[in-house]
Chains A and B, each alone.
Chain A
Amino acid sequence: MKAVFKWSGLVALGLALGGGLAVWQMQASGLGNDVRVGPWSTGRDIGTAHADMKTRAIVALRGLLALPAQEARYFTATTDSAGAPLSGKCSYALTGGAIEARWWSVTLYDRGGWLIPNRWHRHSIGSARIDADPATRWTVRIGPAEQPGLWVPTGTDGPFELTLRAYRPRGTMARDPARISLPSITRGECRP
């Protein structure tokens, strides 16, 4: 009987370790990590039958109902361009240019992938409000304090992440996303 308990305990330990590792990886990973552009990352096979088991599980947990790449590309950033984790206590300048897509937007989420309540009910900004002129550089402010112009509130003192959606990607964005240029994320002041 003692041996049965011993071996059952070992099996249970193995199951817990393996399952725990899988859940941790699903929670800690971005939507996809096979393409990196500055602080942004994405996967090539999101939403398709070609996705590997791990990618499919991560997308199910962190981006369920995501579309395949020919319809939309999803880039996530959990750090600024210098590699520091995005914090709701800090202000950031999101600066970019033309994005090759029919429409695009950048949305702010908590680290679980949920919108963070804020009194302005403002969570995203994108091509609907930003000049479509390819030669124009634009800057969006992200931070806890209200700012004039293009601004998205962090709504939290905790960590957050950004998702850039590019619907109906075109040109290099469609063919080879590793070669595109995406907005930089520059940290400004942080409140204590």
Chain B
Amino acid sequence: MMRRLAPFAVVAAAAVGSYYATLAAAPFGLMRLAEAKIASNAPTNHFTHLPPVRAERQFVVRPSPDLLYSACPYDLTAGPLEVTAVPVPGRYSSISVFDARTDVAFVRNDEQMAGRPMRVVLALEGQTVPVGIETVRVRYATGIILQRVLLADPAEAASVDPIRSKARCRTLAGQQ
């Protein structure tokens, strides 16, 4: 009896393991693909200010054509990352940090910025960060920082561009 059931047990055990391994690995793999796609236009640890979304140019699945996106694929292995941005007056904008597993580690929107510039440092556990700056600790070295700015009309992109382009991410030299 056991000999007859053994093949089924092997198939079932492999299937269960493969099912959960696929679900666990998918977010990391898909995030890597997105990081690589964005980094093909600009280096890692720099913001790319993407043009308005069109069907012919979609940098990620399910983009919103009502938002103007800027993306900074990051890698903290060389040190913490400083992220700065300013809110765009009179409209929704936000900065969000997605880690390598796709979890959101940080969100700050224009209401929370209350008209003031934002400055945070993104760091791995154990990395030294400058004193007195808001710090966000993340579990993984890589991920994507995304800036969203609401456009009521695509034609507004030109007026929003100079402000959203002030968003910066840069590795902090000498911090490890």
| Interface residues in chain A, defined as those with a beta carbon under 8 Å from any beta carbon in chain B | 6-7, 10-19, 21-23, 26, 47-49, 51, 53-54, 56-57, 59-68, 70-71, 102-103, 105, 107, 109, 112-118, 121, 123-124, 126, 128-129, 155, 163, 165, 167-168
Contact = CB atoms under 8 A, between A and B. Distances in A.
Contacts of B19: 18-19, 21-22
Interface of B: 7, 10-24, 26-27, 30-31, 34, 53-56, 58, 60-66, 92, 94, 96, 98, 101-104, 107, 109, 111, 144, 146, 150, 152-153
A56 B74 CA distance: 21
24 contacts: A7-B10, A11-B10, A14-B12, A14-B13, A14-B18, A21-B19, A22-B19, A48-B103, A49-B103, A59-B102, A61-B30, A64-B31, A64-B60, A65-B98, A65-B146, A66-B62, A67-B96, A70-B107, A102-B111, A105-B64, A123-B55, A128-B152, A129-B152, A168-B92
Contacts of B103: 47-49, 51, 56
A48 B104 contact: yes
Given A10-B14, A21-B15, A116 B55 contact: yes
A64 B55 contact: no
A47 B102 contact: yes
Contacts of A11: 10-11, 14
A51 B55 CA distance: 30
B15 A63 contact: no
A57 B153 CA distance: 33
Nearest to B14: A14
Contacts of A67: 94, 96, 104, 107
A114 B23 CA distance: 22
Contacts of A49: 103
B141 to A, nearest CB: 17
A124 B66 contact: yes
Nearest to A49: B103
Nearest to A55: B23
Given A11-B10, A124-B64, A68 B31 contact: no
B15 A15 contact: yes
Contacts, number: 165
A57 B14 contact: no
A128 B150 CA distance: 10
A26 B25 CA distance: 12
Contacts of B153: 128
Given A113-B61, A113-B62, A124-B64, A23 B56 contact: no
A68 B92 contact: no
Contact of B34 (A56, A65, A126, A163): A65
Given A14-B11, A48-B103, A102-B92, A123 B65 contact: yes
Nearest to A114: B58
A59 B54 CA distance: 21
Contacts of A103: 66, 92, 150
A167 B92 CA distance: 9
Given A22-B26, A64-B31, 19 more contacts: A6-B7, A7-B10, A13-B11, A23-B22, A47-B98, A48-B103, A49-B103, A60-B27, A61-B61, A64-B102, A65-B34, A65-B102, A67-B96, A71-B96, A71-B107, A103-B66, A103-B150, A112-B61, A165-B64
